[in-house]
Structure 1
Amino acid sequence: WCYKAIYSSVYTRVLRDPSSLKGQINQSIFACVCRSPLGMSRGQILDEDISASSQWSDSTAAKYGRLDCEEGDGAWCPEIAGEPENINEFLQIDLRSLHFITLVGTQGRHAGGIGNEFAQTYKIKYSRDGSRWISWRNRQGKEVIEANRNAYDIVLKDLEPPIIARFIRFMPVIDHSMNVCMRVELYGCEWLDGLVSYNSPVGQQMTLNGQYIYLNDSVYDGAMSNSMTEGLGQLTDGMCGLDDFTHSHVYNVWPGYDYVGWTNESFSNGYVEIMFEFDRTRNFTTMKVHCNNMFSRRVKTFQKVVCYFRSESDWEATPISFSPVMDDVNPSARFVTVSLYNHMASAIKCQYYFSDIWMMFSEITFQSDTAMYNTTLSPPKTGPPIRDDPTHKVDDSNTRILIGCLVAIIFILVAIIVIILWRQVWQKMLEKVSRRMLDDELTASLSIQSETFTYNNNSPSSVPSEQESSSTYERIFPLGPDYQEPSRLVRKLPEFSQTSEDTGELQIVQEGVPHYAEADIVNLQGVTGGNTYAVPALTMDLLSGKDVAVEEFPRKLLTFKEKLGEGQFGEVHLCEAEGIQDFMDEDFSFDVIENQTVLVAVKMLRTDANKNARNDFLKEIKIMSRLKDPNIIRLLAVCMSSDPLCMITEYMENGDLNQFLSRHEPEGMIALLSNAPTVSYSNLHHMATQIASGMKYLSSLNFVHRDLATRNCLVGKNFTIKIADFGMSRNLYSGDYYRIQGRAVLPIRWMSWESILLGKFTTSSDVWAFGVTLWEMLTFCKEQPYSQLSDEQVIENTGEFFRDQRRQIYLPQPPMCPDPVYKLMLSCWHRNTKERPSFQEIHHTLLDCIGY
C-alpha cells in the first residue's frame, strides 16, 4: 500500500518548491486510489451494521446517520445526559472486514428546514477486533477533528495517517451550547494485505551534525515500551520516505519522521526482528520493503533477510533467506522485493541483517491470497462472535426442509461434475487429434508450415487457415479443460461475450452483473521460459518460401558466463561466443574487433524435454530465423547436431533497458549531487523511437509480441535498442507477472484490458504495452506500473476500462514528461482498439513531432 509516486516528487523537491511538492504528493497518492465511499449513503453498509450508544428516538436511530440521506428525522442524534466532559456518545459502523480508510465525511441534521443540529468537532475511535479501541490522532498528535459549521454542507476530512480497521466510531465533542446530530460516510478500500499487527523494536534516535533525527514509529497504535506490539503504524500508512531521510512529506514534523530506523550498535546479533500477524492463514507470494540507501550517511538497505512462517501454532523449522544486491552507487530510497514462494502462514517473522551502521524502513507490504480452506463465508479470526437470538428455537420441520435442500444441492453438484468431466474427456480427444496431426506434419527441418501458432508449456495449438476463418489472429487458446478461474475475481468483473469474429467488437450480456469474464487464458511462456510471438497463418504463408538455412555452431566455442533465466523445459544462458562472425549472413555485421569474443544469449532445451516441447522449440527457431531488423534480436546460429538443442541469439553489452535505466538518473540537480550516471531526454527519445521501429517491423509481419516492456529491450553501444523475448524467464522480474492458479503467468500491468478480460492479443494490445513501456522509460524504471495497486486491483481497473464510465485509473504523467509524450501514451491506452495509433504512426510521431 505504499503509493510509490513519491520518487516523482523528488525532482520537484530538488527544484526547491515545497508547496508544489506537497500538492504533487497528495494528488499522486490520494487522487483516485482508495477513496471510494464504503456504502453509508448508498446502502451497501446494512442497517444492522450501524449502531450507537444512544438515540433521541426511533426516528433518530443509528441507521439514519447516513450521509446525504433524509430518512427518519434526518440524522442520528444521541440522547445526551450528564455533564459534557463525561459524555461518550458514539455512532459505530461495522465494515465486516478490515478496510484502509483514508477519508471521512460528516453532515448535520436539517430535516427540510425543521432541524439545525450538527457537530462542530468530533473524535474517531477504531478497532480491528471489536475489543481493543484506539483513539485516532493526526500526525501532529491532535485527536479533535474540525467538522460542520451548518446543518447542510458536507465536510470531508483526510485521515493522515489513514486507519486500518473493521469498526469505526464517530464521537461528537458535546458542549452546553447546542445539541448535536450527525450523518457520516467512510471512504477507502478493502485492506487486502490482511496484516493486523506487527511487533518490532522501537525506532531509535540519530545525531547528525548536531541535529537530532527521530526515527521512531510516531503513529504506531499498539503498545510501546522497549518494543512495539499488537499495532500498526508508519510501516503500513501508505507513505514512502524520501531519499534524504532528514526531510519529510509532512509539514511541521521532525527530521526522520518518515522512517523507522535502528542502529546495529543496539543489536548484538546483527539483525532487527519484526513479526507480522495476519487476519487468517494466507498464501504469500512477495514482501516489499521500502528502504533508505543514503550510504554517505552510513545508511543502507538490509544485507540479508531470513523469514520464518507460522501456519497454525508452530513456527516452521526451515526459513527462507534472501540477499538483495547491494548498491553503493545510487543513494535513492527503493523497494526491495522478497519472494516468499507461496508459503502458507498466519504470521511471518523476519530478521533483517544490517549492512552498515543504520537501517531504515518506511513501508512494508505483502502480496498474498487467502488460503483455500478459509472460505469467504468464514468470519475473520478477529471478528466478533455471531449474534444469535436466544429465544429462537429450530423445530423438526425446519430441519427436514434444510436436509431436503442440502440433498437437492448435492444432486445438482453431482450433475454439474458429470457434465464437466464429459467436457474434459471430449476436449482432450480433440486435443489429441489436433496434436497427432501436427506431429505427423512436423519434421526436423526448419521449413515453415502455413499454420497459426500459439504456444504454451504443454503443446502447440492450431487454428483453421485463413480460408476457413474470417478472423485474423486475435483469439488465444485455453490452457486446457482443467483451467480454473481466479476465485477472488469471480465477483468483481462484468460479464460479456464476443460478437462475430469479423468485427471483434464486444456487447454487454447483462450490464452490471458481477461475473468474471469467461476468457481463454493462455500461457505466454515458451519452453525456455521467455515469451513466444503469436504468428498468424496468413503471415506464415507469406514467409514460407524456401527452407531457412541456419548455421550449426560448434558448442566448444561457447563459454558460459551466467544463467539469465529458465522455463519448464529449458534455460537461457549468457555466453561468450568465439568466432561467431563467420557464421553470419552477409547483411549482418558485429561492431567488434576481429577475433574478439561476442556476448550471446543461448536458449537451451533440456535433454529430458518431451516431444511436444522439442516441437515447440523447433517452431520457435523457425519464427526467430525470419526476423531481420536492426531493432529486433536476431537468431545467429543453432546447435542441433546433439542434445541439448540450442539456439544462439544476440545479446547487448549493457543488459536490459529496465536495469540500465534504474542505474541512471535524468540530467539535472539530483545527478549532480549524487554523481550518478545520467541519460539525457534526447537519448530516451532515441531509444523510444528504436522500440517503435522494431515493433513497426513486427506488426508489418502481423507478429504479436505479447510481452513488450523495458525488461524485454536490450541496450547496446550508443543507446542502441533491440527488442528481445526472454524477460519472462528471469527470476529478477518474477514480481512483474501475475500467476493464474499456479498455471499461466501474465504481465498484467503491461496488458490491455481486452487481453486480460478476453484473452485477445493483437498489434493493438502491443500498442498498449508500448505506452506502458514509454511510461517506464520516462520514470527511469524506478517503480512498477500501477505500483499503488495490488494485482487484483489492476485487474479490477481493466473492468473499469470495459465499462468506460470514466472511473478507470491511468498511469500518471511522469515528472518533467512533455505533454505531447503523455498524450501519445494516453492514445495507446484508448479503450477502443481501432482508435489506438499504429506503430507506423507512433514511429512517425516520435521522429517528427515530439522533442524532449
Structure 2
Amino acid sequence: MERIELDDSISASSSSQGLSQPSTQTTQYLRANTPNNATPITSSSGYPTLRIEKNNLRSVTLLEAKAKVKDIAISRERITLKDVLQESTFGRIFRGILVDEKDPNKEKHTFIKTVKDHASEIQVTRMLTESYKLRGLQHRNLLPITHMCTGEKPMVMLPYMNWGNLKLFLQQCKLVEANNPQAISQQDLVHMAIQIACGMSYLARREVIHKDLAARNCVTDDTLQVKITDNAFSRDLFPMDYHCLGDNENRPVRWMALQSLVNNEFSSASDVWAFGVTLWELMTLGQMPYVDIDPFEMATYLKDDYRIAQLINCPDELFAVMACCWALDPEERLKFQQLVQCLTELHTALGAYI
C-alpha cells in the first residue's frame, strides 16, 4: 500500500509540523458555523421528499427473526471457526472458513458472528434482526450478510476483510511520519470517507436508513477498501459508544442528530449527521466524539448550536464538510451524493500538494 506524505501548505489550519498525531479534545466546542478560511458549501434545496422513519421498538420473536433468513440458512457442517477477532460479554466475531456447497474442496475466509452460551433469547434475536439490515443490497462499499446458520446457537456470516473493524484499525494507526512507512496519510483518510459516502449514497437511493453509521460499523482491508456493515453486536463490543437515556434502549447518542435524539425520528438526513461524526472519527483516528459531554446533555448542546471543535490538523475545507452535515434543520444538510463530490474534490486537492 502506497503511503503519501502531505505538504504543510495544504491548509492554513494544518500544524507547522505537518501531520503528526491528531490533537486531543478539550472542553472547547464550536458553534455550528463555517470555520475561518473555508469555502462555504451551500446545499441544494435539500431532500425534496424526506422519508422519516420512527424506530420500531416492537418485539420480534426468535422464530420470526429466523424465518426472515431461512433462504440463506446453511448447515453448521460447512463452517469452521478459527481465530477470535473480537469478543464481548454476549458474543464473538471469528475469522472462519466456509466450505463451498457444491465443491467441498473450495473454501473461503469469512467473518462469523455468534453468541455465547449464556446469551439470552433477546440477545440472539437482536443479533439476527440487526444482521439482516443490509441483506440483499449489492454495492462495493457495503458488507451484507451472505449466509446464516440458524441452529441452537445461530451464526451470521459476512465476507472477510483482513484488517477488520475500522474503529480498531484507526486507533492502531499513526499519521504520516518520515520514518514510518506503515502510517496512514490524510489523503488516505479522505479516500476512506469517500467510500463510506458512496455506500451511504447507495442506501439513500434505495431508501434504506442505516441509523447507526460510525467507524465501529465499518470494516477495511490492506488496500484501505472500506465497507459499511450492520450494527449487530456494536452495543456489546463498543459499550462506551452507547447510552441509555431512560427509555430502556442503548443508543449511539454522540452520533445522533437532534430529531433522532428527541423525537426518535430517522431519515437519510440523520444518516448524513452521523456521517459527519464518522468523518471526524477518521481524522482523529478513532477518538470518541464529545468525550467530555454528559450524554444526557447532548440534546441541549445541539439545540444551542454547539458542535465538535475543529482539530488543529484538519483542513478548513474538510471541517466545512463536517459542519454542513450538522445543520439542525435536516433540509439544510448535504445529500450523500454532494458529500461524495465535495470529498472527491478535496482528495484531488490534497494530491496536488504531494
Q: Same fold (TM over 0.5)?
A: yes
Give the match for residue 339 of structure 2: 842
Q: Using the alignment, how far apart are the partners of 1:656 and 1:605 within structure 2?
A: 20
1:765/1:32 CA distance change after superposition, 3 Å: closer
Q: Secondary structure at the match of 1:562?
A: strand
**Structure 1 residues 49-76: Cα deviation after superposition (integer angstroms, max 9, x where no partner):** xxxxxxxxxxxxxxxxxxxxxxxxxxxx
Residue 53 of structure 2 aligns to a residue in which SS? Answer: coil
Any idea what the Cα deviations from partners look like across 1:267-296, whole Å, max 9, x if unmatched?
Answer: xxxxxxxxxxxxxxxxxxxxxxxxxxxxxx
Q: Once the 2 structures are TM-superposed, how far is the Cα of residue 566 of structure 1 from its aligned partner?
A: 5.4
How far apart in 1 are the matches of 2:226 and 2:268?
20
User: Residues 605 and 646 of structure 1 are in contact (CA less than 8 Å); yes or no, is this contact kept in structure 2?
Assistant: no
Which of 190, 206, 222 pairs up with 1:685? 190
In structure 2, the residue matched to 1:579 is 99
Could you list the per-position Cα deviations for residues 15-42 of structure 1 after superposition, in whole angstroms to 9, with x for gaps in the alignment? 6xxxxxxxx99xx746559xxxxxxxxx
Q: CA deviation at 1:793?
A: 3.4
Give, in whole Å, the separation in 2 of the partners of 1:621 and 1:597: 20
Say if 2:145 and 2:157, in contact at 8 Å, map to a contact too. yes
Give yes or no for contact 1:560–1:573 (8 Å, CA) kept in 2.
no
Q: Secondary structure at the match of 2:306?
A: coil
Aligned to 1:703: 208
1:558-610 per-position Cα deviation (integer Å, ceiling 9, x unaligned): 2142273558xx63431311435969xxxxxxxxxx95651412245979865
How do 1:597-676 and structure 2 match up within 5 A? 597-604=108-115, 610=121, 623-640=133-150, 642-668=151-177, 672=179, 675=180
- Structure 1 counterpart of 2:249: 744
Match of 1:787 among 291, 301, 310: 291
Equivalence for 2:302: 798
Closer/same/farther in 2, CA of residues 784 and 581 from structure 1, 3 Å limit: farther
Decide which structure has the larger Cα Rg and report it.
Answer: 1
**Percent identity of paired positions between Structure 1 and Structure 2:** 24
3-state DSSP of counterpart to 1:719: coil
Contact 1:632/1:722 (8 A) holds in 2? yes
Residue 79 (structure 2) pairs with residue 557 (structure 1): yes
How many pairs does the alignment contain? 309
Structure 2 residue aligned with 1:770, among 253, 261, 275?
A: 275
Matches of 1:581 and 1:696, distance apart in 2: 34
- Provide the residue aligned with 1:830 in structure 2: 327
Task: Identify the residue that residue 39 of structure 2 maps to in structure 1.
Answer: none
Q: CA deviation at 1:557?
A: 2.9
* CA deviation after TM superposition for structure 1 residue 763, in Å: 1.0
Residue identity in the other structure for 1:576: G
What's the offset of the Cα at 1:666? 1.4
SS of residue paired to 2:223: helix
Q: Distance in 1 between matches of 2:87 and 2:284?
A: 26
1 CA distance for matches of 2:192 and 2:316? 19
- Summarize deviations over 1:304-324 as a string: whole Å, max 9, x none: xxxxxxxxxxxxxxxxxxxxx
Q: Counterparts of 2:70 and 2:201 in 1: how far apart (Å)? A: 23
| Distance 1:580-1:678 versus aligned 2 partners, 3 A rule | farther
Q: Could you tell me whether the CA contact under 8 Å between 2:165 and 2:220 is conserved in 1?
A: yes
Q: In the TM superposition, what is the alpha-carbon distance from 1:618 to its structure 2 partner?
A: 6.2
Counterparts in 2 of 1:602 and 1:748: CA distance versus 1, 3 Å: same
Letter in 2 for 1:629: H
Distance in 2 separating the partners of 1:763 and 1:739: 23
Any idea what SS the aligned residue of 1:816 has? Answer: coil
CA RMSD for the aligned pairs? 3.8
More helix by percentage: 2
Q: Distance in 2 between matches of 1:575 and 1:709?
A: 22
AA matched with 2:299: I
Q: Which has a greater percent of strand?
A: 1
* Structure 1 pair 839–553 and aligned structure 2 pair: CA distance change class (3 A): farther
Matches within 5 A, 1:230-309: none
Question: Structure 1 pair 756/582, CA: closer, same or farther in 2 (3 Å)?
Answer: farther
Distance 1:29 1:578 in 2: 46
Residue segments in structure 2 that go unaligned for 5+ positions in a row:
1-13, 31-48
Letter matched to residue 842 of structure 1: L
Q: 1:163 matched to which residue of 2?
A: none
Q: Matches of 1:559 and 1:609 in 2, distance apart?
A: 22
Match of 1:62 in 2: none
Distance between the aligned counterparts of 2:210 and 2:148, measured in 1?
22
2:54 corresponds in structure 1 to 475
Q: TM-score, normalization: structure 1?
A: 0.33
Where does residue 817 of structure 1 map in the other structure?
314
Q: 1:29 to 1:660 in 2, by over 3 A?
A: closer
Counterpart pick for 2:221 among 706, 716, 736? 716
| Cα distance between partner residues in 2 of 1:660 and 1:752 | 26
Task: Provide the TM-score with structure 2 as the length reference.
Answer: 0.73
Q: Which amino acid is 2:83 matched to?
A: K
* TM-superposed deviation, 1:751: 0.7
Question: SS where residue 552 of structure 1 aligns?
Answer: coil
Contact 1:555–1:639 (Cα < 8 Å) also in 2: no
Give the superposition deviation at 1:719: 0.2
Helix, strand or coil: the match of 2:157?
Answer: strand
Provide the rounded CA distance (Å) in 1 between the counterparts of 2:28 and 2:126. 46
CA distance in 2, matches of 1:526, 1:766: 27
Report the CA distance between 1:680 and its aligned residue: 1.5
Structure-1 separation of matches of 2:101 and 2:83: 19
Distance 2:167 2:119 in 1: 33
3-state SS of paired residue (2:93):
strand
Residue 794 of structure 1, CA deviation: 2.6
Any conservation in 2 of the 1:738–1:747 contact (CA below 8 Å)? yes
Give the 3 Å change call, closer, same or farther, for CA 628–606 of structure 1 in structure 2. Answer: farther
User: CA contact under 8 A between 2:88 and 2:237: conserved in structure 1?
Assistant: no
Distance 1:840 1:556, change over 3 A: same
1:748 Cα deviation from its structure 2 partner? 1.0
- Would you say the 8 A contact 1:564–1:729 is kept in 2? no
